[in-house]
Amino acid sequence: MQLILGLCEKYWDCLYEISDDDTECRLAPIVWTDNTLYLKLKLIPITKPASADILSFSYADKEKADIIEELARKEKKLPEGNITRALFDKSIALTPTVFYEALSEHLNDSLLCIKQLDALIEEKCGKDAPSLRQFRTVLERIQDVVKDILKKREVSPHPIPAKIAVVPSQPPDYHSINSREEAYRLLNEIGEYLCKREPHSPVPLLIKRAVVWGNMSVTELLEDLVRNKDELTEIFKLFGKKSEDS
């Protein structure tokens, strides 16, 4: 969407070498996007569970689960082999909040982009202007799901900005690190924080491992990293060192 908006803003008069009174070809990509790509939006995952045992699901899966639940309510029996709302909700419950915070921001950016694109096309084409109604509607429905999830988790979703504001850059306020020990202590605190925030990610474990390595001598570090004794011996020879086993 941002690419289409950028092309229309900067190159509207020369993007297609056609006469000004022939808008059908010029607007064909916009019409095609609204008539076709909105279906693709429904297939984008809106859950990302930390457990490998639970599948990720899309908005299309949610729609299907809702239909199946309604049928089950009428027939008192769930169709076999289909996604259920309970399974969908479990996938949501196992998805980290940070995923939904990022998704909320992406959705708001996309909706703002569509709003600007619709306004630009209306300005250029007047009564002939198509809209991205179907595309926008799917985004808004997904946004409603995400808002509800974040509300239940007591996290405020990102509001849609009325316009893109240019904020003057401010110099970053760096924390002054006065010693090697303090640097490694801060790294360890970062690792602990990320372990709680992103338990599915290997990054906090690597950070904490780096803290351990930072307190090792070169010999201890090489012995920890290189498991093959023959290769380790060759490395020690290269550095003129002897291993403890030598």
Tens digit of each residue's pLDDT (9 = 90 or more) over 172-212: 444 567 777 777 778 878 877 887 777 667 777 788 778 77
pLDDT above 80 for 47? yes
Burial pattern 28-46, b for ≥16 Cβ within 10 A else e, equals eebeebbeeebeebbeebb
Same domain for 126 and 27: yes
Same domain for 216 and 145: no
State the burial class of residue 234 (Cβ atoms within 10 Å of its Cβ: 0-12, 13-18, 19+). exposed
Inside any domain, residue 90: no
36/235 Cα distance (integer angstroms): 59
Q: What is residue 115's predicted lDDT score, i.e. its pLDDT?
A: 92
Q: What is residue 93's predicted lDDT score, i.e. its pLDDT?
A: 93
Same domain for 113 and 30: yes
Q: Which residues contact 116 (CB under 8 A, 6 or more apart)?
A: 5
pLDDT above 70 for 114? yes
Sign of the torsion angle spanned by Cα atoms 217, 220, 224, 228? positive
pLDDT above 80 for 39? yes
Inside any domain, residue 220: yes
Same domain for 108 and 21: yes
Looking at per-residue confidence, does 187 or 135 come out higher?
Answer: 135
Looking at per-residue confidence, does 204 or 47 come out higher?
Answer: 47
Q: What is residue 165's predicted lDDT score, i.e. its pLDDT?
A: 47
Inside any domain, residue 195: yes
27: domain range? 2-48+95-152
155/152 Cα distance (integer angstroms): 8
Q: What is residue 94's predicted lDDT score, i.e. its pLDDT?
A: 93
pLDDT above 90 for 154? no
Same domain for 22 and 110: yes
pLDDT tier at 243, thresholds 50, 70, 90 = low
Inside any domain, residue 80: no
Same domain for 201 and 146: no
Q: Taking the chain, what is the end-to-end CA distance rounded to the nearest angstrom?
A: 63
pLDDT above 90 for 226? no
Same domain for 123 and 185: no
Same domain for 99 and 38: yes
Same domain for 100 and 41: yes
Q: Which residues contact 121 (CB under 8 A, 6 or more apart)?
A: 8, 27, 30, 129, 130, 131
Inside any domain, residue 194: yes
Looking at per-residue confidence, does 156 or 61 come out higher?
Answer: 61
Question: Can you give the pTM of this predicted structure?
Answer: 0.58
Inside any domain, residue 88: no
130/93 Cα distance (integer angstroms): 39
pLDDT above 90 for 159? no
pLDDT above 70 for 2? yes
What's CA 76's distance to the chain center, in Å?
Answer: 38
Q: What is residue 219's predicted lDDT score, i.e. its pLDDT?
A: 72
pLDDT tier at 20, thresholds 50, 70, 90 = low
Least confident stretch, 4-8, 114-118, 131-135, 139-143: 4-8
Q: What is residue 242's predicted lDDT score, i.e. its pLDDT?
A: 59
Domain count across the chain: 2
Nearest to 210 by CA among 230, 194, 198, 232: 194
pLDDT above 80 for 224? no
Same domain for 115 and 31: yes
Same domain for 20 and 142: yes
Same domain for 121 and 196: no
Inside any domain, residue 83: no
Inside any domain, residue 100: yes
Residues 56-68: pLDDT tens digits? 999 999 999 998 8
